[in-house]
Amino acid sequence: AMKAQVQPFFHAGSNTFSYVVSDPNSGQAAIIDPVLDFDAASARTGTTSAQAIVDHISAQALQVQWILETHAHADHLSAAQWLKQRFPAARLAIGEGIRTVQATFAAVLDLGSGFRTDGSQFDHLFTDREEFKIGALPGRVISVPGHTSDSNAFLIGDALFPGDSLFMPDGGTARCDFPGGDAATLFRSIRRLFQLPEATRVFVCHDYGPNGREIACETSIGEQRAGNIHVHDGIDEATFVSLRTTRDATLNLPALILPSLQVNLRAGALPEPAGNGVRYLKLPLDRF
């Protein structure tokens, strides 16, 4: 497979990895899962992390063709709209399952009568197995529902971006207890990814440095199949579902799930200003 150039960016506040992936020959690039800084206590947004991506793209003289979201994240606000203003030629894309997620949360989050649940806030909605290009680099969409119903993995050249479906081998897999999540579905999604060549590089979306190890973002399909603590070869679906369901029952909701979804279901756009010119996020009381 053609080798992709991959530059990771770590957002410490949410333990998220964003990536700039580029075709070394043409300088065409994609941005994957960019983060808007957000301080919950003061409700202040910031663009320091997103600006680091812009600076890298400028320094390398890259041309951004795509801004890709692996799914509508529940633990950080997306910087996709802010970046799209800087790179107007880039197409902002997510999986077609976003329509289901929008429909699920629109009422609970009271996103307003004007809110559309057809995914049209994005420039493009990917279908499973859809192919795209970054310069001459081949890209392929692999639908990986289970964590959420809109989760996709992106295979770009020799590099796989699984979103939250797979963490580093010692971190296991993502939770499946959000609306639209399902552990058996995630198991089957991951088995699809495990059919890729063992040398395929895997770049994870989150890392929490389990057992005190250094934060890391890169592994391989071979390492995942041999050593992922939740889904290595030999673990069957029933065992995984039991482990995942038991573990999920102990987890708190992500600290930023309510602010994140209100922004990310709008493709990273902040809510429209109220009559006083201020933008507001809502907190539905006693609903979660």
pLDDT along the chain (288 residues), means of 10: 95 97 97 97 97 98 98 97 98 98 93 93 98 98 97 98 98 95 98 98 97 97 98 98 97 94 97 95 90
Sheet (strand 44-46) strand order: 44-46, 35-39, 77-78
Contact 205, 14 (CB under 8 A): no
The tokens of 235 are what? 């673990």
Contact 242, 231 (CB under 8 A): no
pLDDT score at 95: 98
pLDDT score at 202: 98
Its pTM stands at 0.97
**Cα(208)–Cα(12) distance, integer angstroms:** 9
pLDDT score at 112: 85
pLDDT score at 59: 98
pLDDT score at 287: 85
User: Residue 65 is inside which H or E element, if any?
Assistant: strand 63-68
**For residue 145, with 0-12 CB atoms within 10 Å meaning exposed, 13-18 middle and 19 or more buried, which class applies?**
buried
pLDDT score at 288: 81
**Cα(125)–Cα(105) distance, integer angstroms:** 18
Largest CA distance in the chain: 59
Between helices 183-193 and 237-248, what is the axis angle to 10°? 130
Phi, psi (5° rounding) for residue 264? -75, -30
Angle at 14 between CA 17 and CA 41, to 5 degrees: 150
pLDDT score at 113: 84
Contact 169, 229 (CB under 8 A): yes
For residue 28, the cross-strand partners are 63
End-to-end CA distance of the chain: 44
